[in-house]
Each structure stands twice: as structure tokens, then as C-alpha cells.
Amino acid sequence: MDDAALLRGLLGAVRPAPEEIRAIAIEDLALLGDARALDALATLLWDPNPRIQQAALRAVTLFQHARAEEILANVVRHPRLPDALKIQALNGLVFQRTPTARRAVQDAAVDSRLTAGVQNAARAVVTQWDATRR
């Protein structure tokens, strides 16, 4: 992997700049496909700007990697993250295509600590997952 490209992408994602520039840098990190960016992307989920949070989560979903799956499952379970991010993470878990990702979605569908909206989204993802297996 090109370490310089990864470093430029990371700097662009975290450096103070207009949100459009940061969002593009985050997308570029996903396009590089270097899993070393996943921890930085996970940190960006706490950015105060919702657009940056969403861009970071979209980038994480593009990785098929154990760390990406862990991040997505953690987003779903986290009590302080917005429901919109949790639903986005649920949809991203489908693309991990692992038994543990499926189990995370199934668990979310019945987790009483989650809002009804997130539980319903998890049920929809389980249904989608079942439909693709047929």
C-alpha cells in the first residue's frame, strides 16, 4: 500500500477544513482500501458534524474486514450514537457476509435497549439477508 496516500487521506479527514473537503478525504480513505484507516474512521464517528460521522460510517462499510465488522456492530450497540447511524451500520453489516455480522443484526432486532426504529430496521436487514440467501 502507498503509505503517503494513506497519510494524505488521514490528514485530509481530520484537519480543520470545510466539511465537503473532509468528506471527500474520508471517501478517499475507503477507496484506498487500506484497513489501517479503520481506527481513524472509527474515531471520526465522534466528530460533532453529522455529515462527517455519516461519511466515516459509509467508508467503514466499504471494508470487508473483521475490524470494520467490529466497528459497525459497536455503532449499533452504542447508547449515545444517533439512530440514523445505527441503521446505517445495520445496513453495512450485510456486506460483511459473516455469521458474526448476521448474529449482530439478529441481536439488534430483539435488543430492548435499542429504539423501536432501530429494532425494526434490524428486522428488515435480517429479512433482506434471508432473501439474498435463497
Q: Which CATH superfamily is domain 1-63 in?
A: Leucine-rich Repeat Variant (1.25.10.10)
Q: Assess whether pLDDT exceeds 70 at residue 120.
A: yes
Q: 3-state SS string over the chain? A: CCHHHHHHHHHHHHCCCCHHHHHHHHHHHHHHCCHHHHHHHHHHCCCCCHHHHHHHHHHHHCCCCHHHHHHHHHHHHCCCCCHHHHHHHHHHHHHHCCHHHHHHHHHHHHCCCCCHHHHHHHHHHHHHHHHHHC
Ordered by start, the domain boundaries in the chain are 1-63, 66-133
pLDDT digits (tens, 9 = 90+) for 51-74: 999 999 999 999 999 999 999 999
pLDDT at 133: 64
